[in-house]
Structures are given as C-alpha cells and as structure tokens.
A and B are shown apart, each in its own frame.
Chain A
Amino acid sequence: MKRTLLALSLAALTSVSTFAVAAYPEKDINGIIAWGAGGSTDTVARSVAPHVEKILGGTIVLSNKTGGVGVIATKFVDSQAADGYTLLMNAENPQLYKVMGLADMDYSNFTPINVLARGVPVIVARKDAPYNTIKEFIDYAQAHPKEVKTGSTGPGGLTSVVLAMINTENKMELTAIPYDGDGPALTALQGGAIDVMPAVLGATLEHVKAGRMKVLGVVDKEAHALLPDAKPITADYPVYEKYLPWGPFFGVFAKKDTPEDVTAKLVDAYNQGSQDEAFKKLLADRGFIQLNIAGKEADDFLKRWQSVTSWLVFDAGIAKKSPEEFGIPKP
C-alpha cells in the first residue's frame, strides 16, 4: 500500500515536471570530468565551476572519472537521465571515438553547454636540435628518414593529428615513441630521449621561456601573444590554412534531450560564469584561446573539427573506420 502511494506521488511529481524544472537546480549537479586531476580539462572545469555556481544558485559536485581516452566518463554521462543533473566535462576526444573504433558515440549524443576554450598546438624541439623553425625541421626530417624521434600520445591525440597534417602535405618519416600524455613526453624531450614534439602551447610555455626547449613554430594561422617569436606554420606553408585553426578544446556537455529550459539555464550560467576575469586570466596564462560558445555556433565548431580531424587521421592510416561510415562529410 505504502509503495503504491509512493509510486503515485512520484507520478504526480513527474507530471508537474514543468514546475520542477522552474526550480532547477533543486539538488546538486554532478560534473563528471573525463580526465585526471591536475590536467588541462580538470583545471579549466574546476576553475569555471565556482563562478557558474554563483549564477546558477546551486552546487556542482565535480569528480574525475578517467580512462579509455575519456570513453568511460562519456559513456557514464550518456547512461544517466537526461535531466541536467549529470554534466560531462571532456576534451576533443569523443569526436574521434567513432573512427577510432573506441565507442559508437560522439558529441552529437550531447548538447553543448559551453565549449570553453581551445588550445594552440606548437612544435617544440630539444634545445640542441639542428633546426630552429618548422621548415628547417621538415627539411631535416625528410633528409634523415626515421632518425628524428618524436613523442606520441596515442592515435588520435594532438601529436598524431599534427603529424598527420604534416605527413599529408610534406611527407616524412619519423620514429614515434609512445608516452602517456604530453607531460611525460616533454620531460623525455628535456632528457634527450626524443627530439621533437608537437604539443599544446600551455604545456610547453614555461619550459620554452626558461630555455629548456625551443619552439619551432605555431600550428595556427597567426603567431601567439605568449610566444611572439614563433612563426605560424602558414608563413612557410600556406597550404596548411585549410586545416586551421585546429587544436584541442574543452567543454561542458549535457545529455541530448535534456529539457530545453534546463539547458538554457545552464548555457546562460556557463556563459556568464566564463566571463569572470580570474577565469579569463587563467585561460590566457596557459595559452588557451577562450571560445565561450554554445548552441548552433558550438554545433558548427564541433562538426567542423570532427570533419577535419576524422579525415586527417583516416588518410594518415591511424583510424580504424572510415568517416564515411558515420556520414562525416569531407572538409
């Protein structure tokens, strides 16, 4: 009897869900960070959260659920109710899950709440390497096949995509040595275990400033304010313009079919929250370019990124499945 009553009252509650939504958030929101504590995604997600909480008038409980290049967290959030109480904080990786054969989902299974920022890839080399610019590096690598050692952060990672770009336009053979992320690889670069490493600007900045490694150039259309002396790759090779701007990004996502008034509230809170000066400074200091986009703008950004990258990795032979299978158009 009691149980029926409970069920009835529950049903009554859900039938007035419009009322419940008006009160969103009426309980704590779970923010699932797909990457480990202290990493870029983690730092960005945790830094913006307090400002968002203020506007939202609720608490976001953040936890890290790492592993499988973010697949574990992505699948977890997808398995939860589409009620806006479980948010995914992840990087660019899901856009490649399908072609890499890691999972049968991508960001089209989610509604972007805010694509917060993007990173700029740079190419760094150990400080005594016999080349100083991207052009010199490409010439050297072409003249010395397999001799130049580069770090690799796994297929689909930033390094592999940047190298796929270069390989498509300027064929060369490198020896790729695997590392768990750019941190350990950049450490190996300083110890001379590898020679060259494409990495996100923020991760290299302090080491470049201290002269422990040198930056060969920026993989973007223009130079970056934090490393003004590094030439953009397009200066010597205009052909790269069609891929750029390209880079890793981080964002906050809700499961698809979350009620629109809930996502609208979240989008608004994240939009306002990410305009906080301290947060902007944190992004700038680490070399990230703030995007702060949602809605159609974010959808277009995500689609373009997926199209460019999926075809790049497929043509480079590191993808397992053709983007065509999933209806991902050529850029």
Chain B
Amino acid sequence: MPETLQYFLMTWTQPQLLFLTAIGTFAGIYIGAIPGLSVTMAVSILISFTFSWEVNNALALMAGIYMGGVYGGSRTAILLNIPGAPSAIATALDGYPLAKKGLAGEAIGLSTTISTLGGFFGILILAIAAPFVSEFALRFQPRDYLLLAVMGLLLVGSLSGGSMAKGVFAGALGILLGSVGLDPLTAEERFTFGYTDLMTGISAIAIMIGMFGVSEALDQMHYLSMPAIKQRLTRIVPSWQDVKKHLPLGLRCSALGTFIGALPGTGGDIAALMAYDHAKRSTKNPEVPFGEGAKEGIVAPEAANNAAVGGAYIPMLTLGIPGDAVTAVIVGAMFVHGLNPGPLLMIERPEIFWFTVGTLTLATIFMFIFGMTGIKIFTKIVEWPKTVLLPVILLLSIVGCYAINNSVTDVWWMLGFGIIGYFMKTYGYQLGPVILGLILSRLIDDNWRRAIISEQESVVGLFTGIFMSPLSLFLFLTIVFLLFSQTKLWVKLKTRVLGRSAKDVTIDPTQV
C-alpha cells in the first residue's frame, strides 16, 4: 500500500512531472476548444515529439492533454455554438442558449465543476474496479453493440428539436454519409463513384466542423448589426444549492460515461449524447425547458464525457485494449517507450497503473483550476465584434480541418457541409442528429453484420441469442421500454396503476 501511494503521488511530488501535467492540461483545454484540433491528433503528434523522453514524462503530458481536451470542447460549444469536439455536441444544445441570455460565465462555471466531478468519478472507478469493469466490457457481443447503437438511434428524438420528421431525416442523412467509403466487410466501394479520395469515406470531423462551425458563422451574418450580448460575470462558481440539486444526475451520467468509455469501440461522444437523452427523459420539471438553456442539459453530457476518460483507460491499463481512439494512440506510445501494454502490464509494471491514476487525478484538479480562472477572458470572445469573430472562426475551422488528415479534400467537404448545414438550420433541421447518425453508422453497420453472420445469417438465431443472454435481453428490454413509454397505452396504464391524473404526464411527440 505505501508503494501504491508512492506511485500515485509520483506526479504530485516531482516538479517536472507536475509541470508537464499542468502544461498538458492547459494545452488540452485549448486544443479541445478549437474545432478540428482534436485530442487524438495532439496525442499522435506527441508520440514522435516525446520519443526521446522518459516514459513517465510522456504519459503525464498525454494524460493532461486528454483530460483537458475532453473538457475544452464545451467552451466553444457554450460560447459560440461550435462544439470543439464531437463529445461536446450535446453541451451546445443548452449551453449556447445560456450564453445568448448573457449567462455564459455561469454555464462554463457549471460545466467546469461537473466535468471535474465526472473526471473524478471515472478515475475512481478506474482505481477501484478496473479489472472487474474490463472483464464485463469484454462480454459485450456484436449483438449487444448493435442494441446499444439502436438505443443510440432513439436519441434522434431528443436531438431533433421541434419536428420529429426533420430529425429523422437528419439522422438518416448522417447514417448515409457514414456509409461512404470502402465496405468494412468486403472492401467493396460504396458511394465512391471511383474517386480514391472517397475510399476513406468522408471525414466525420470535417462534416462536424462544417455543420457546426462554418454554418454557424454563415448564420451569424444575418445578425451583423446586432450588438453582442453583454455577459454577466458576477457569478461563475456555481452555488452549492445548484451543485447539490444536479449531483444525482451528474453521478448517474458519470457512471454511464465511465462504462460507455470502457467499452472498446464506443467513447465519450456517444456517452455524452446518451447522457443528454437520459437527462431529458428523467428530468420531470426543468426550470427552463431543454433546448432553451436547461442546466441539466449541460450537467449530463459534461459529466459523461469526462467520466469516459477514466473509463477508456480501464481496458487499456488492465488488458492492453484501448477504450477509444485516444487510448489507442497511447497504447502505441507505450510500445514506442518500451512498455508492453497488455494483461501483464499491471503485474510486471504495477507502478504504471498507479502513476496513471495519480496523473489523471492531478490533471482533473488542474482542469478545474484552469477552467475556473480563464472564464472572464474567454467570455470576452463572445463580445468581440462579429466582423472579427466570424473570420477567425472560419480560419480556425479551415486550419483545424486540414490538420486532421493533412488533406485539402477534407477542407472542401467541410465548406460544402457548412453551406448545407446553413440551409438545414434555416429551414428548421437540427444538425445534432446528422452527427449522431455519422457516429452510429459504423457501429450499426459493423455490428449488425457481425451479429447476423455469427448466427449463420438467421434472424431467428439472432433473437434467440438476444433472449438467451441476460445482458442482451436487458438492452433489448430497455429499448422496448423506451419506445413503449411514449405510447398512449403506457400513459393510460400508468394512470390506472398509480392512480395519478393523466395531466401530470403529457406525451412529448419529440421524445420517441
């Protein structure tokens, strides 16, 4: 135990490591905030950059960037309606309306506090239950991923704003866009029209930057003459009552985020969207309706996406299996530094595990400090004249987009989808479902086929499989319940059984 503590505190006591973690977290917040500069990219670049370093230094820097970067995405989501990363899409839905009311400071303060909570939660689970969680995550079969993805599809309801039909259209568009490229099963070309550039598919990040960054800049041009909203900065640190009120939701979403993060193949982006959906379903009477600045709409995704960081480290440190794209790169970095990430890592090099837990904890503390101190300067951005702000957004979008794959094609896609996104927005189509569709497209495509091929292409076999496995059955029943709970029959039943007046429960048509 004293040894464990010593490893845990290594980063805290060595000035060099402390400094690197701080720098990493600070850089991460800004990398995360700028759309297009992604954590995955930053960590990839760091591999070669830190080649000659000591392994601990490299790992400390990467952990800082990862934790800070996931949090940073919410900054621009709240201030500019441009999520810095896919995991911050849900944050923009209620964060930006708050900024429009002049409450950006409060929104960022809340998101920082809750992200810190989520971060700590994920790390705690990593520290106390890592082997157990990773064994459980491994039990997820292709059909379970398929069910999870179908559950994800139901989120279209929460994300589609006013019109369900438009939401479904946007989600379907996302799924279609996600299927462009080489077929993962047969390497057959799909929708490529013979172009090599289309063989990789259309970069999801390019579409996201276009649809959120460029289209928002275009949209803002309608309001050039409008004065910028004065931001009230009197209250940044959320009141204890506020935190206490949202604590149960925050903890539930942290648990969800940790687990989704720990599943190999799903990450913080899906976790944040699912958490948002959960918040919308479970919050009976929000002070402000969702989509207009509900605090629950910030709490849920922010808790989930930072909790997913600790979650993603769980299978990586215990089994050498990355939980998401960033940890996949970190696994590569560990190889370069002569470590052998795998199931034996915890036995052969136990110090790496506790060192990482300690570093992540420290990074979360730094994230809180940097997050809370920079708010005043940051919110000033919103008060910039639009004639300066909009070109800067466009420039950052282009640079960031090019940097993902060093590809000019991506930049054209981004601009094209920016224009499409602008028209979609103008005509009342939400853009969130497009990105949701994009994220889920591969998950559904791959796992549907894996699941059905495993059953010798028999649908009956697939359903037998679902009913034979407790895990699959649970997921399946959850989906059935989510659908059924929106029908009139359910409302009637509920009224009869609970004896409650039907007035309390109204059906929200967007909530299917």
Residues of A that sit less than 8 Å from B by CB: 36-39, 42-43, 46-47, 49-50, 62-69, 71-72, 75, 100, 102-103, 146, 149, 152, 154-156, 175-180, 183-184, 187-188, 190-193, 205-207, 209-210, 212, 281-282, 285-286
Q: Which residues on A sit within 8 Å (CB–CB) of B184?
A: 154, 178, 180
Query: Other than the known A67-B405, A154-B185, A175-B456, what 11 A-B pairs have Cβ atoms closer than 8 Å?
Result: A37-B328, A38-B47, A64-B44, A67-B199, A102-B199, A178-B185, A178-B449, A179-B446, A193-B454, A205-B342, A212-B319
Considering only CB atoms, which chain B residue lies closest to A190 in the complex?
B138
- Asked if B223 lies at the interface with its beta carbon under 8 angstroms from chain A, I say no
- Asked if B378 lies at the interface with its beta carbon under 8 angstroms from chain A, I say no
Taking a contact as CB atoms under 8 Å apart, the answer to whether A282 and B338 are in contact is yes
Taking a contact as CB atoms under 8 Å apart, the answer to whether A191 and B454 are in contact is no
Distance from A77 Cβ to chain B, minimum over Cβ atoms (Å): 13
- Asked if B497 lies at the interface with its beta carbon under 8 angstroms from chain A, I say no
Distance from A65 Cβ to chain B, minimum over Cβ atoms (Å): 6
Binary CB contact string for chain B from 446 to 461 against chain A (1 if under 8 A, 0 otherwise): 1001100110100000
- Asked if B13 lies at the interface with its beta carbon under 8 angstroms from chain A, I say no
Binary CB contact string for chain B from 324 to 337 against chain A (1 if under 8 A, 0 otherwise): 00001111110110
Taking a contact as CB atoms under 8 Å apart, the answer to whether A46 and B182 are in contact is no
Distance from A276 Cβ to chain B, minimum over Cβ atoms (Å): 12
- Asked if B51 lies at the interface with its beta carbon under 8 angstroms from chain A, I say yes
Distance between Cα atoms of A238 and B427 in the complex (Å)? 69
Q: Which residues on A sit within 8 Å (CB–CB) of B197?
A: 72
Taking a contact as CB atoms under 8 Å apart, the answer to whether A63 and B196 are in contact is no
Q: Which residues on B sit within 8 Å (CB–CB) of A212?
A: 319, 343
Taking a contact as CB atoms under 8 Å apart, the answer to whether A154 and B51 are in contact is no
Taking a contact as CB atoms under 8 Å apart, the answer to whether B182 and A68 are in contact is yes
Distance between Cα atoms of A323 and B384 in the complex (Å)? 63
Mark the stretch among B65-73, B139-147, B413-421 that contacts chain A.
B139-147
For the complex, would chain A's binding face be called helix, strand, loop or mixed by DSSP majority?
mixed
- Asked if B340 lies at the interface with its beta carbon under 8 angstroms from chain A, I say yes
Distance from A132 Cβ to chain B, minimum over Cβ atoms (Å): 20
Taking a contact as CB atoms under 8 Å apart, the answer to whether A184 and B199 are in contact is no
Q: Which B45-99 residues sit within 8 Å CB-CB of chain A?
A: 47-48, 51-52
Taking a contact as CB atoms under 8 Å apart, the answer to whether A37 and B44 are in contact is yes
The 8 A-B residue pairs with the shortest CB-CB distance, nearest first, are A38-B332, A206-B342, A67-B200, A210-B343, A68-B199, A37-B44, A191-B138, A178-B185
Distance between Cα atoms of A202 and B64 in the complex (Å)? 29
Which residue of the partner chain, among A39, A71, A176, contacts B199 with CB atoms under 8 Å? A71
Distance between Cα atoms of A192 and B407 in the complex (Å)? 39
Taking a contact as CB atoms under 8 Å apart, the answer to whether B199 and A206 are in contact is no
Considering only CB atoms, which chain A residue lies closest to B341 in the complex?
A206
Distance from A156 Cβ to chain B, minimum over Cβ atoms (Å): 7
Distance from A207 Cβ to chain B, minimum over Cβ atoms (Å): 6
Distance from A308 Cβ to chain B, minimum over Cβ atoms (Å): 20
Which residue of the partner chain, among B40, B320, B336, contacts A47 with CB atoms under 8 Å? B336
Distance from A122 Cβ to chain B, minimum over Cβ atoms (Å): 15
Which residue of the partner chain, among A50, A64, A187, contacts B264 with CB atoms under 8 Å? A187
Distance from A125 Cβ to chain B, minimum over Cβ atoms (Å): 16
Q: Which residues on B sit within 8 Å (CB–CB) of A146?
A: 456
Taking a contact as CB atoms under 8 Å apart, the answer to whether B139 and A210 are in contact is no
Which residue of the partner chain, among B199, B333, B343, contacts A72 with CB atoms under 8 Å? B199
Q: Which residues on B sit within 8 Å (CB–CB) of A179?
A: 446, 450
Distance from A168 Cβ to chain B, minimum over Cβ atoms (Å): 21
- Asked if B322 lies at the interface with its beta carbon under 8 angstroms from chain A, I say yes
Taking a contact as CB atoms under 8 Å apart, the answer to whether A37 and B406 are in contact is no
Distance between Cα atoms of A212 and B135 in the complex (Å)? 11
Taking a contact as CB atoms under 8 Å apart, the answer to whether B48 and A49 are in contact is yes
Distance between Cα atoms of A152 and B187 in the complex (Å)? 12
Distance between Cα atoms of A207 and B343 in the complex (Å)? 6
Contacts A37-B329, A68-B200; is A43 near B335 (CB within 8 Å)?
yes
User: 5 pairs across A/B with beta carbons < 8 Å?
Assistant: A64-B405, A75-B196, A178-B184, A184-B264, A193-B450
- Asked if B431 lies at the interface with its beta carbon under 8 angstroms from chain A, I say no
The winner among B264, B319, B335, B343 for most chain A CB atoms within 10 A is B335
- Asked if B225 lies at the interface with its beta carbon under 8 angstroms from chain A, I say no
Q: Which B434-467 residues sit within 8 Å CB-CB of chain A?
A: 446, 449-450, 453-454, 456
Distance between Cα atoms of A152 and B342 in the complex (Å)? 22
Taking a contact as CB atoms under 8 Å apart, the answer to whether B320 and A207 are in contact is yes
Considering only CB atoms, which chain B residue lies closest to A156 in the complex?
B187
Distance between Cα atoms of A47 and B405 in the complex (Å)? 21
Distance between Cα atoms of A188 and B142 in the complex (Å)? 9
Q: Which residues on B sit within 8 Å (CB–CB) of A282?
A: 335-336, 338
Taking a contact as CB atoms under 8 Å apart, the answer to whether A206 and B340 are in contact is yes
Taking a contact as CB atoms under 8 Å apart, the answer to whether A285 and B338 are in contact is yes
Q: Which residues on A sit within 8 Å (CB–CB) of B333?
A: 38
Which residue of the partner chain, among A49, A63, A177, contacts B142 with CB atoms under 8 Å? A177
Q: Which B105-140 residues sit within 8 Å CB-CB of chain A?
A: 138-140
Distance between Cα atoms of A190 and B134 in the complex (Å)? 11
- Asked if B428 lies at the interface with its beta carbon under 8 angstroms from chain A, I say no
- Asked if B350 lies at the interface with its beta carbon under 8 angstroms from chain A, I say no
Considering only CB atoms, which chain A residue lies closest to B449 in the complex?
A178
Q: Which residues on B sit within 8 Å (CB–CB) of A42?
A: 47, 332
